[in-house]
Each structure stands twice: as C-alpha cells, then as structure tokens.
Amino acid sequence: MPPPFPAPVPSARADAPTFTVGEEWAFSFVNELDPGKSGGYLQRVERVENDHAFLSVVVNGAPGSGELDESACVVRGPGVSFSPSNEALRFPLFVGKAWAADYLYSSGAWSAKDHREAVISFEQVRTPAGKFEAFRVESTIAWSGVAAGSDAGRARETSWYAPSVGRIVKQRFVDFPNNKNSTPSWTRYELIRYSTLSQNEQ
C-alpha cells in the first residue's frame, strides 16, 4: 500500500519562532485514562515580552493563562508550571539533533524532577488543521516526585513541531509510574485551527 502522501524532503533547519500578538492555536485533547478531562483548548498571544509569549487560555470553556518561552516550550499553563520550561524543543532544530535537559514540573502541590532525552527526525504529519512538514521529536522522560515517599516513573513523548505555525501541532504521551498499582496514562493532542491577528480581524 503506498504512503498517504509523498515522503518529505527534510528541511535543513528551523530557528526559534517569533510570536506575534493575536496568534491563536486551537487544540483537541484526549485523556484515555480519564475521558472526563478530554476536550479542547484555545491559546491566544496577548503580549510578548523578552521573546516570551504570554497567553490567554480557555480550557473546556474555563479561562486561564499561560506562558511560552522563546523556544515555544511551556513555562506555565492552567494548573501547571515548569522550571525553567518543559524543554520539549531546543533550537535550532535539525535532523539528528539530540539533547538532554532537567527541569521541575509542578501541578498544584505536587512536584517532580524530570530528566528528558530527545532526538529529532523529520516527516509530514496530518491534523484537523491540515498537513504539515514537521520535525518529529522523540523523548524519554524519567521523573521522580520531590516529596519524601513520592512515586517515580518514566514517560514516552512523541511531538511534531511545524515551523509554519511555530508550535507543536501533534503530540502523543504515555506515562508509566513505577508503582505497579498505578495504570499507565495515555494522552494526545493535535492542532485543529491556527490563525493570526490579521485573519481574526477579517
């Protein structure tokens, strides 16, 4: 059976995106372990300071806020934060690039130290927003809770970053706690719409 679309020619590299006020990304989100948390969210750039994008975020109708660093990595979102960021991207991107990074993840009162190891390839990916040439980032993440007696585990994350919209447009994530009584957690999201301020004003 032939592939659904021709094999892409890898781009030489991608530099970090430049955010502009009014950019919007709408995503769908699925949590297979807890379907009640599935839904959609909208992110809009409200201001840009020191190359960071400060966002208004609406998750399943509830308003919130978020922040992306100069590499489009998440610094914070509704109910979560990363220090210095989630280190999901490191520019410039090119095929074969690899990196390792340590960061702190916090959700409410719970925090964990994360260690990410990532490597890049290139392919085309399709989402409801269209077909994109994208850098595929395969990551393994080892994590351990900060509090005494906290759990630990590992995760696998596959992300597709599309330079044309300056964001990860699709992601699959599975988390495997070391606690044998815990169930692996599967989540995924994908871009369903992208627009800019000029498009929104039309």
Q: What is the mean pLDDT of residues 53-78?
A: 97
Check: CB of residue 66 under 8 Å from CB of residue 76.
Answer: yes
Which DSSP letter does residue 115 get?
E
- CA–CA distances in Å: residue 29 to residues 100, 131, 133: 27, 18, 21
Q: Which CATH architecture has domain 24-200?
A: Beta Barrel (2.40)
Considering Cα of 133, then 18, then 92, then 167, what sign does the dihedral take?
Answer: negative
pLDDT for the residue numbered 7: 47
Residue 86 has pLDDT above 60, yes or no: yes
- Bridge partners of 112, per DSSP, are 105, 145
- Residues 137 and 102: their CA atoms lie apart, in Å, by 17
Percentage helix, strand, coil for the chain under 3-state DSSP, each rounded to 5: 5, 60, 35
Q: Which residue has the higher pLDDT, 185 or 143?
A: 143
- Residues 138 and 159: their CA atoms lie apart, in Å, by 7
Model confidence pLDDT, tens digit, residues 170-197: 999 999 999 877 788 899 999 999 999 7
Residue spans of the domains in the chain: they are 24-200
Share of the chain above pLDDT 70, in %: 92
CA 128-75-64 angle, 5° bins:
65
